[in-house]
Amino acid sequence: MSNFIEKRELLESKREFLHRIFQQAKTSNPGVLDLSKVTLLDGTDGEKQLAVKRLNDEMSLLGAEVNTLAMGKALNAPVGAPGLPFGNGGAADDDDLGAAFVKSNAYRGRTKGIPVGPEAELNLSPRAILEGKTTMTTAAGWAPQAIRSGLVVPIATRPVQVLDLLPQSNTQQANVVFMEETTFTNNAAEAAEGAAYAENVEALTERTALVQKIAVFLPVTDEQLADVDQAKAFVNNRLTFSIRQRLDNQVLNGNGTAPNLKGILNVSGIQTQAKATDPAPDAIYKAMVKVMVTGRAFPSGIVLHPTDYQNIRLLRTAEGVYVFGSPSSSGPAVLWGLPVAQSDAIAQGTGLVGDFANFAGLVFRSEISIQVGYINDDFKLGKQSIRADVRVALPVYRAAAFCTVTGL
């Protein structure tokens, strides 16, 4: 635990230092920082920019360590891609074709000085003319075989990115019920011998997060499943993705009216921070401070629309130097040492900062499952209905542990 506190305090000190640098470099144009105004760093503007980049990289590593220590696991979303096997289809070897061509009468006749071209055809023997006119093509001869590969290119659609910020657990109940301390007055005080003790004031309120269901189905014929090996796996994968994509959106935007979950953005009591004239990184940092001071929590993640993160990543100095490193810099999206989930499920211009690791979570009554059945006359029509569903609750344990950033 001491290592966790040490790492966290070091991360906070680096965040505060970078925040002061941004404040000094602030100009009337939110998209431009003037590093020449920064007195906290020595050197030229280029050297200061490199120092800012190094500081952000250090916070990235520290942020990952703090999150790992806090959550007990690293956030990752490995993505795999299908292989693409191809064969030569029994094509003839180039050496065999070359040998056959060299041995042909037409080639031997040409090398012996027999004239070629339309004007010389009358001087050729009938056999030579026949050889010169006969051409085997794919249209009039043997059409090439086209074998479809196993590759399936999915349609362009919103990826699942917000779910990885949330811890997940299970329940055997239909709802998630917990107690929230809603009143706490600490009257602890020094007392003289024989004097009365001061009395604390405490109140608890029961909270409930309802388990809701997200579901989808797809009718498929028996022949499709039987004749194409990939069909079953493809259907299962896409139905599972459909459930996860919808849940990813509900985590942020669910309106709380059954059967909707109540998304974090619609929870009463979350904080807000306006960007105003601040550079976007400063507004996000101020939201983090609100989470820490008012929410008494430690932010573990940031959600931004990809366009808003683009504007932050492209911040440049007055000399045109990229503040967060050159375009060749690689690595995950990180700000102030926190992972950034780039999702267009959140409205452009609005960001969300919060302690996802400790004060929100996905609690599953039942994990995503796939079932097969028949609807009405499907059995005699040779059709199967493949369905997928999940039952899950989204408790937000402390609203003030989250803060929106507006005006990005």
Give, in order, the Cα–Cα distances in Å from 83 to each of 78, 151, 155, 348: 16, 7, 18, 36
Does 89 fall in a domain? Answer: no
Q: How far apart are CA 60 and CA 327, in angstroms?
A: 17
Q: Contact 265/250 with Cβ under 8 angstroms?
A: no
Does 108 fall in a domain? Answer: no
- pLDDT value, residue 365: 96
Does 326 fall in a domain? Answer: no
Does 379 fall in a domain? Answer: yes
Amino acid of residue 184 = F
- pLDDT value, residue 1: 59
Q: Is the pLDDT assigned to residue 177 strictly greater than 90?
A: yes
Does 337 fall in a domain? Answer: no
| 33 token code pair | 């920082």
Q: Contact 343/161 with Cβ under 8 angstroms?
A: yes
What is the CATH number for 184?
A: 3.30.2400.10
What does pTM read for this prediction? 0.75
Q: Give how many domains the chain has, as a whole number.
A: 1
Does 58 fall in a domain? Answer: no
Amino acid of residue 263 = G
Considering only 63-67, 184-188, 384-388, which range has the smallest mean pLDDT?
63-67
Question: Which phi and psi (to 5°) does residue 105 adopt?
Answer: -65, -35
* Domain encompassing residue 377: 157-305+343-406
- pLDDT value, residue 358: 96
Q: Is the pLDDT assigned to residue 182 strictly greater than 80?
A: yes
Name the band, by pLDDT with cuts 50, 70 and 90, for residue 325. Answer: confident
Highest mean pLDDT among 61-70, 71-80, 138-147, 330-339: 330-339
Does 47 fall in a domain? Answer: no
What's the burial of 195, exposed, middle or buried (CB within 10 Å: 0-12/13-18/19+)?
A: exposed
Q: How far apart are CA 17 and CA 13, in angstroms?
A: 6
pLDDT in tens, 92-128: 444 444 555 455 555 555 545 545 444 444 444 555 4
The 3-state DSSP class for residue 262 equals: strand
Sign of the CA dihedral 293, 294, 298, 303? negative
Does 63 fall in a domain? Answer: no
